[in-house]
Structure 1
């Protein structure tokens, strides 16, 4: 127990609550947080395992309706391309992946903050493209829920339907990449101690998120969550830059 990072577990709980309320999943926060405690490949592995449980909780708690067409149009390409992204991640340098994650988070948050009225057309083509991009990005850097959330928002779903449908798609994505990451060697023995805690956090965080969902203005929360994503992205870029320069110094 002495090797357990309790601050990390607390931050994971906060990430799960925020991700549930935001509707795009916890990985957009969980990945950069975990990156401060583990190497990036381990982060990918522990995120995938955590999200499998987290999404099962969301499916159970937000089961008032599921959009089967979106599962087909977004979910199928997302699952296919997360496998491709997971395989590709094995051949990319960790420092590059961290930097790409930081740039991705900063770009995405700034885009949503500046273009407040940004929407994607609710058509089959856009749904397939959104699923493809979200799956591939999730496989490479560990988080693609924001892209999927933006795509699904175009279809103007009721909140419970949105979260349940997103969770089912995410479950397929995370289960697929968990298998790929396992064979990549990303799910290491030293992170197994965290799994029981993350199972509880996934359930508790989803439940708390559901309670808060009806009490917080979605518009105000969106601004707060995007601001946090921006800050985390900037910190991740700075961290990856320091790691890069330290590697160059000792080469």
Structure 2
């Protein structure tokens, strides 16, 4: 089976941008992977890729971990990613991608225009953000953008943002990997890429952390929102143009 090396280079870029943006690589990895593999293979690869990626982030940014947010965002995310993983076999992914894209574009524009708008990270908002990010992760392979927009709205310090998001991602990926495996999404093709994606996850996180030293807190939030806006536009465009 031929290895797609250009795909691996793009995966490294996705990991670097995902680290700098604070919400993980899947928001870039899933759309890129869809150009090379079928939708369900990409779901399986994403879950595998994120193991090394998120373990690296947890290790490198562990001092910023917010345990309260981890519970209120993380637990609903894990519960709903399992539900989303099972539902992925029955729902039309194209319609879901368009809805997700519109949602991301609308919210990212809101927070870019209303620069001083900050949402208090209370329990109901955290639970809602975690549940929605988990559901989209299970259905589409990527929930990081939803969680990213939630945490950007909370105006969290960048190390707290990245460490907490990575730990939630790790729990989500662990849960959905079993679901995807039972659905038949993880097979020989996906496992061939495992060592490559593991190395890329570590290297991309390390490079992203180095770049973050040169980005201020204000620019970090702006950069995250701009990336989410682009992801939303690409998600809509990819479905409409194909």
TM-score, normalised with respect to structure 2: 0.88
Q: 1:120 to 1:224 in 2, by over 3 A?
A: closer
Q: Compute the RMSD of aligned alpha carbons.
A: 2.4
> Pairwise mapping of residues 3-152 of structure 1 onto structure 2 (< 5 A)?
3-152=2-151
Q: Within 1, Cα distance between the matches of 2:45 and 2:125?
A: 30
Partners of 1:136 and 1:12 lie apart in 2 by 23
The residue aligned with 2:173 is: 174
Relative to structure 2, which stretch is displaced further, 195-204 or 25-34? 25-34
1:176, distance to aligned residue in structure 2 (A)? 0.7
Q: The residue matched to 1:64 in structure 2 has which SS? A: helix
Partner SS for 1:180: helix
Relative distance call for 1:188 and 1:115 in structure 2 (3 A) is: farther
Total equivalences in the alignment: 242
Per-residue CA shift, 1:118-138, capped at 9, x if unaligned? 432221111111111111111
Report what 2:204 is aligned to.
Answer: 205
Change (3 A) 1:218 1:15: farther
Structure 1 CA distance for aligned equivalents of residues 106 and 141 of structure 2: 16
Cα distance 1:93–1:177, how it changes in 2: closer, same or farther (>3 A)? same
Cα contact 1:16–1:26 (8 A) shared by 2: yes
Superposed CA offset, 1:173-230 (max 9, x none)? 1111111111112223222221111101100000001100011345445555554554
Contact 1:137 1:144 in 2 (8 A): yes
Mapped to 2, the partners of 1:67 and 1:232 lie a distance apart of 26
Distance in 2 (CA, whole Å) between partners of 1:154 and 1:226 is 10
| Secondary structure, aligned partner of 1:91 | coil
Deviates more, 1:7-16 or 1:220-229: 220-229
Q: Which runs of 5+ in 1 are unaligned?
A: 244-251
Q: In the alignment, is the contact (CA less than 8 A) between 1:85 and 1:140 conserved in 2? A: yes
**What is the TM-score with the length of structure 1 in the denominator?**
0.85
More off after superposition, 34-43 vs 166-175: 34-43
Check 1:41–1:110 CA distance in 2 against 1; reply closer, same or farther (3 A cut).
farther
In our comparison, the structure showing a higher alpha carbon Rg is: 1
